[in-house]
Amino acid sequence: MLMRKIAIRSLRATFLLSLALFFLVSCVSIDSRMTIRDNGSGTLALTYRISQLVVDLGISNSGKPVIPLPVSKDDFERSLAATNGKVRLTKFDRSENEQDVTIKAELSFDSLDALAQVEAFHDADLKRAQNGSLSTFSQVIARAPTEPLTEDTERMIDALFDGYDLTFVVETPRPIQNAPIGTVSPDRKTLTYQSSIKDVMNTKNDILLSVSW
């Protein structure tokens, strides 16, 4: 009887962890393309695909949306209200099939500080720093887990998210001087970072995208 109870608890814990991981990366595909001007303003084009199952869940028990990114034009407009017009939705398109909802949106922002105020980007910790003539933009792609992942969890991640990728592109106003991760274009004005969802989920360290120009 005792072994049975332990097995049930273990199964329940694995199931709950599976749900948590599923919700965490419910946007199974993300493409982010940011253009930054010399004065700090710019545009951000986003394309992301979300499972219909997660969209249908809507609001969690805590009263917050299950997924952090907007899934409708109204959601976007509400999320931008805190910026007092400093971030604007310039394009929006939503398409869906039986499995997924795909969102394509473009934002225009007056400053990166304003963009960082949008709730959907709080976890990304968007920052711009100035050191003399050198400007640096940074954002958090993923944070290391608070506890090490078990082998079973890693196998589950590999099975669930095989083939799903993240792409982050940053276009700078002047040639890039430093970029610790990602690929710099031949003209040194575009940084591209790509990773699989599996690698992001399995990371043992914070993943920080940083580019200086």
Residue 148 per-residue DSSP state? P
Q: pLDDT at residue 157 above 60? A: yes
Q: When comparing pLDDT for 191 and 77, which is higher?
A: 191
Give all strands (DSSP E) within the chain, no chain letters.
Answer: 27-36, 42-51, 87-96, 100-109, 127-131, 134-142, 165-171, 183-184, 190-196, 207-212
pLDDT attached to residue 106: 97
Specify the residue for token string 């610790």. 180
Assign 104 to helix, strand or coil: strand
Residue 42's pLDDT band (boundaries 50, 70, 90)?
very high
What are the tens digits of pLDDT across the range 92-141?
Answer: 999 988 877 889 999 999 999 999 999 888 889 999 999 999 999 999 98
Residue 148's pLDDT band (boundaries 50, 70, 90)?
confident
**CB contact at 8 A, 80 and 87:** yes
Instruction: Give the predicted TM-score (pTM) of the model.
Output: 0.77
Specify the residue for token string 């982050």. 168
Rounded alpha-carbon distances, angstroms, from residue 183 to 49, 127, 169, 187:
24, 20, 9, 12
Q: pLDDT at residue 84 above 80? A: yes
Rounded alpha-carbon distances, angstroms, from residue 205 to 96, 140, 193:
34, 11, 16
Rounded alpha-carbon distances, angstroms, from residue 74 to 7, 71, 103:
45, 8, 13
User: In the predicted model, what is the mean pLDDT of residues 20-47?
Assistant: 79
User: How far is it, in rounded angstroms, from Cα 153 to Cα 202?
Assistant: 9
Rounded alpha-carbon distances, angstroms, from residue 56 to 38, 150, 193:
41, 30, 31
What are the tens digits of pLDDT across the range 53-76?
Answer: 666 655 444 444 445 678 889 988
